[in-house]
Amino acid sequence: MYTPGHLGELTQVIDPQLVDAVLDETGSRERRVRLLPARVVVYFVLALAFFERSSYQAVWDKLCAGLCGIAVARPCASSLSRARRRLGSAPLRRLFEILAGPVATRAQASSFYRGLRVVAVDGTALSIPDEEAVTWRFPKHGGEVLEFGYPLLRLVALVECGTRALLGAAFGPDTTGELGYARRLLGQLDASMVLLADAYYDAFDFLEAVTGTGASFLLRSTRKRRPTVRRPLPDGSYLTTICAGKYKAGRGYGRLEVRIVEAWMTVTLDDGTRRTELWRLMTSFLDADRYPAHELIALYHCTPPVAPQSQRRAPSSRA
């Protein structure tokens, strides 16, 4: 029914033999020949991510559009839905674990800063179907009496900035904050990387954990943080110390030495209005001679966070 290795352009990226191996490993192979074999359903589910606004049958048509001269069945939407449910999540999860990872070579300069691979972590929230089978785990928001809106899934991803290749992802109910999911991705970091992040990620425990992986970091500090200048540096940046908010037995209040680079940023909103505000970039790059402030500002500006933003940032000058 289907020519092996020729089910749409996706087979040029993800080898059918790899899909078959994953199906065998996860015990997801069909027990009898079906109109929709498990391998085909894997590619169909992957195609759904590319055409999220299209119907099941429209996605199927797009997936098989290049199979000229081959008799291809056109299953109904309910058949595709049952096949997707029958496949389950295990083979997709395993396929992601195998394929996720950095892909940039040293020749791709935009993916590296002074020899370090530039990666970024960011999160977003996605609306999911308002169905009883979903809301037990992904509750809707509401007040004392009424619930409103759709259930939300919180997704946090770690990506390679120069290529947008995914290194890892974590998701679940939005009752858990971004930091909770971001901590699950720390195992993907190592000493060959510098991590970029937005202001939400400047919590002491998270930065301490990032440092523990050997990775460097550069992120925007929240406005509520008012760092004390402990040691001014020649380029206008300065060293300071951030502390843990809670006392830990045997450790006391944890401390982490960081460097602050202050920069005036011009923010352009979707409606065209502009405002200029002071941003404080916090980094583990303490050596101002080796890592000049202007380079760090440019690095943060040229490698934006992962999730789509409603604002565009442009550094204009350092304070």
140 is written with which tokens? 């809707």
Q: Would the pLDDT of 31 be above 70?
A: yes
- pLDDT (tens digit per residue) in 242-261: 987 665 555 566 789 999 99
Name which residue leads in pLDDT, 273 or 136: 273
- Give 69's Cβ-side CA count (13 Å radius): 1
Q: What was the pLDDT predicted at 247?
A: 55
Q: Would the pLDDT of 308 be above 80?
A: no
Q: Are 120 and 306 in contact (CB under 8 A)?
A: yes
Cβ count within 10 A of residue 212: 10
48 three-state secondary structure: helix
Of 168, 172, 151, the closest CA to residue 159 belongs to: 168
- Quote the distance between the C-alpha of residue 56 and its chain's center: 26
Bridge-based pairing state of the strands 193-197 and 216-220:
parallel
Q: Would the pLDDT of 312 be above 50?
A: no
Q: Are 315 and 293 in contact (CB under 8 A)?
A: no
Residues 251-288 as b/e (b if ≥16 CB within 10 A, e otherwise) read eeeeebebbbbbbebeeeeeeeeeeeeebbbbbbbeeb
Q: Which residues fall within 8 angstroms of residue 234, CB to CB, at 6 or more apart?
A: 288
Q: What was the pLDDT predicted at 304?
A: 55
Q: What was the pLDDT predicted at 33?
A: 66
CATH-assigned architecture of domain 100-317: Alpha-Beta Complex (3.90)
283 is written with which tokens? 């980094």
CA 168, CA 159: separation in Å to the nearest integer?
A: 7
Nearest 5°: phi and psi at 274? -130, 145
| Candidate from 74-78, 161-165, 314-318 with smallest mean pLDDT | 314-318
Q: Read off the amino acid at residue 49.
A: A
Name which residue leads in pLDDT, 133 or 59: 59
- pLDDT (tens digit per residue) in 214-226: 999 999 998 888 8
132 three-state secondary structure: helix
85 is written with which tokens? 């449910």
Report the mean per-residue pLDDT for the chain: 85
Q: What was the pLDDT predicted at 3?
A: 47
Helix (H) or strand (E) holding 17: helix 16-25
Of 226, 229, 197, 220, the closest CA to residue 267 belongs to: 220
pLDDT level of residue 299 (50, 70, 90 thresholds): very high
Q: Would the pLDDT of 228 be above 80?
A: yes
CA 66, CA 243: separation in Å to the nearest integer?
A: 58
- What is this structure's pTM? 0.83
CA 319, CA 317: separation in Å to the nearest integer?
A: 6
